[in-house]
Amino acid sequence: MVVPMPTKTLLATAAIFALLWLPHAQAALPAEVDGQPLPSLAPILDEVMPAVVNVHTRTRVQVRSSPFFDDPFFRHFFDLPSVPRERVQQSLGSGVVVDAGLGYVLTNNHVIDGADDIAVTLADGREYAAELVGADRDTDLAVIRIEADDLSALPLFDPESLRVGDFVVAVGNPFGLGQTVTSGIVSALGRSGLRGLEYQNFIQTDASINPGNSGGALIDLRGRLIGINTAIFTPSGGNVGIGFAIPASTAAYVMDQLVRHGEVRRGSLGVQTQDLDASLREALNADAAAGAVITRLEPESPAARAGLRAGDVIVRIDGRDVRGSQGLRAVEGLLAVDSEVEVEYLRGGRERTTRARIEEDLDTRISGRRLDLRLDGLMLARIPDRSRVRGVLIEDVRRNSPAWETGLRPGDVIVALDQRPLAGLRQMRAQFPRGERQPIVLEIRRRGAGYRVTLD
């Protein structure tokens, strides 16, 4: 596709090529042509690039060379060492220093997930060990911290005025080559549909984003940090001009939660929804381009107390458009617990407004650290009602966390607590011992087998 250039730019470009073809032309380009300075991003990048860092990690993974290696008789007979063999995995990514005083670096969760060691290399070559402040798998964001002097920071800028067609620049560390700058435009806003992420509201750009760019900066032409580069769409493994960045507004909220709590505590309206399609639009007489149709409300949920009911179509929350069920999840993910929001919805062809106080739904999902620090790194979730299994699902376990060290793994189901059967997450919260740090026995079901895990 050929993009027309302004007349002055065409004249300047023609003059440059003319100079290049002159027999005695100098190698360096002139500072200006026809009285106009040559356009360049260099002055902006001089300010931005010191804040963009390289993030590299090391992860030790136990490996088996043979199934016989786990047999104690086999090891003794052949005098094999009992220490398990390890393989070290290394990965590279990018990050952005967003607070120079406290040394906070924002990056992607998948860059540091499960790492035993995290290190940061600054643009000037200095290298520092980093500690994990907190990570959020649902948005693929993480905050790490370094102790260093003379850091350059790039504060997050809320891109409310960002439009499709605006020029943007991506800065990162693709393929471990070192700091690299690419440019493009905003291709779309509010993108969703990527696998593995619960909350999605991406900026799509055609600025080249490649492996290693993850966690780097997406800036506007004023040098403001408007997004954190996170993913690409690629059938071949290389860049095809479809990249995604997490908006700075989302990153700012998640970072604040991670710094305060070490996790993101999210509020909820307490509703289940589906997209407003053509058939539902006609059946519900809903004159809206998009929205989320309420299919079920949790009893005593914020939505129920606000007067909402099944069949209502939520179209906006606090002025933010709701683009379907996934769009509602994206908006909910930025709603602070205990905040009051305005909900605009359609009922019977009429637009209505109500106010709802956002609450944290601890009976649906809760981090293990909220129950006991020995379960830090664990995410517990309610098992769907249609399932035949009763208990509490271990949805996620962060590698090398206290919960991981006890032997708990994603997919495990806690079916009993101190020999008392568990019907669900609400019961587990109510029965979990508080106060004194006493041994607790968890009965686990894993792929049909039963195990016991003791928290000492």
Catalytic annotation, residues: 110, 140, 214
Local structure of 252: helix, strand or coil: helix
3-state secondary structure 352-417: EEEEEECECCCCCEEEHHHCCHHHCCEEEEECCCCCCCCCEEEEEECCCCHHHHCCCCCCCEEEEE
d(CA 234, CA 356): 41
Contact 266, 337 (CB under 8 A): yes
How far CA 6 is from CA of 10, 18, 36, 105, in Å, comes to 6, 18, 13, 39
Nearest CA to 398 out of 212, 194, 262 is that of 262
Q: Which residues fall within 8 angstroms of residue 307, CB to CB, at 6 or more apart?
A: 354
DSSP 327: H
Q: Which residues fall within 8 angstroms of residue 219, CB to CB, at 6 or more apart?
A: 44, 48, 154, 168, 169, 171, 225, 226
- Determine how many CB atoms are found less than 10 A away from the CB of residue 418: 13
How far CA 384 is from CA of 295, 390, 412, 445, in Å, comes to 16, 9, 15, 16
How far CA 256 is from CA of 47, 99, 129, 264, in Å, comes to 24, 12, 22, 9
For 100-137, strand residue ranges (E) read 104-107, 117-121, 127-136
Nearest CA to 254 out of 230, 232, 222 is that of 230
Contact 328, 273 (CB under 8 A): yes
